[in-house]
A and B are shown apart, each in its own frame.
Chain A
């Protein structure tokens, strides 16, 4: 709990973070930036869980535990995505989204 800041302000911030992530996922031209946008979405959920736990249900730790697991899984996901991007870079020397379009429709 932070004195002077209510749950509404924090949830507004996380919602904005979530939609920045969605926007970035759709508009970014670089695969790494797309990956960063996914991280933004996941971090918005992590903050959501912790805040809801702290402000609304402080007697149980479910939300905090959940957020720790999300962080761990997100790390695994990023590692896998980066390794696939590196493998792609070895073949086409590019990490641009427009270069991954040989399969369409």
Chain B
């Protein structure tokens, strides 16, 4: 059986099964697709806000149930350097969905070859269907510059038989020309109230009782990420069965606990040995595919409460500085470690200052 988060995913933009928050926006979307003039779209919003869900609903709105008949396909392509790569796509008759950033720096080739090829093929039976196909590119913000530039012309040239939907978390990493070619659909994270309503609804439908206090905890810990909230709720339910205590403490995800321990280690002592240990731990976290910027966020989150007010601003600025470098650089560990050492220095300087 499916997890709650997938089981109760909204299927329509409107109606009984429709999305439950950002309703106004949903209406706009529905209007956009009502005739054949759907523009290129750029969905942006934090993780767990419902971007993909909305895209799916949109596609369903456009093409009906046919859009649900999807299959996984592997597309092969050859890079200019003669490397054979493949990329996985999800496609139906009407749309294709792919994540070009899966192939790293070769995403440009994906855009040039595969997307263009998609765009060039027009629908045969134009009468019965919409005259265009849709290409959904997820994680568009991790597209390289080159790939984004490669999209520019394609978006214009083949606009009549292909529409592109970009899905990203941060708009800032999408180049201006692309933004200007799309209608930007901002999907904000649901408010705590929204989440609370949804969780209660799901619990109702699952016929599970959960104490208020626990629901509150879940909402707090989910950080307005609906996906996480629902998964946490289900995890809580799985761990405790139907009888959930009032004082049950919803556990943090393990990786978060691990980073928290790391932060404690940093605070415990400031020396090169500790740096070496921290490095080891950061390697562990990184190797489990936790994105480095989340590591930054979490570390900061756990470190700051222990710091005196005077040094907070300096620490945050250091963190920002190295996070920026992280984006520009290649090896995440270098920058995280630089931040850790910088923090140690600031912290130690402060604590060793005579009061």
Q: Do A and B bind each other?
A: no
The chain A residues found within 8 Å of chain B, CB to CB, are none
**Interface residues in chain B, defined as those with a beta carbon under 8 Å from any beta carbon in chain A:** none
